[in-house]
Amino acid sequence: MKPFEIVETPIETQKYSDYVLHAGAGAVTVFTGHVREWTHGIRTLYLAYEAYVPMAEKKLAQIGAEMEEKWPGVKVAIAHRIGEMHISDIAVVIAVSSPHRKAAYEANEYAIERIKEVVPIWKKEIWEDGEEWIGGQKKYPEKGSAEQ
């Protein structure tokens, strides 16, 4: 595995939590994002994700670097799956270790928010009566945002 990767096969979360664990870590948070059946009253049959893979992996690594700068001492691994996924499948895993729990929680939430802003990954929802590419980013990414 790579610590920041796009994968096409089911995500095994243990690999990522094992990767971030070390003797100095007192806390590990593992977030998994799953395919949800109902969104605003509409039933999803399955999702299809695609990514600009090389750039997406660079952006995931950039988010990891931002986290290490904001919360010194954290160690991070992030994987996002692409392709077709069904209800309850894991689309994304974020594993964060830190000496104390507060940073592990905070940094983990930061990661998923940044993924939704800057990582070139797209989700298509397929319903019983149609399909649509979803895209409602709150904030446009800026050039050189690694320095932010």
**Are 76 and 107 contacting, i.e. CB atoms less than 8 angstroms apart?**
yes
**19 CB contacts (<8 Å, ≥6 apart)?**
1, 3, 75, 77, 95
Q: Which member of 56, 74, 79, 85 binds other proteins (CB under 8 A)? A: 56
**111 CB contacts (<8 Å, ≥6 apart)?**
31, 63, 64, 67, 76, 78, 94, 96
String of contacts with other proteins for each residue 5-34, x by CB under 8 A: ----------------------------x-
CB of 42 to other proteins, least distance (A): 15
130 binds other proteins (CB under 8 A): no
Applying CB under 8 A, which residues contact other proteins?
33, 49-52, 54-56, 58, 80, 91-92, 112, 115-124, 133-137, 140-145
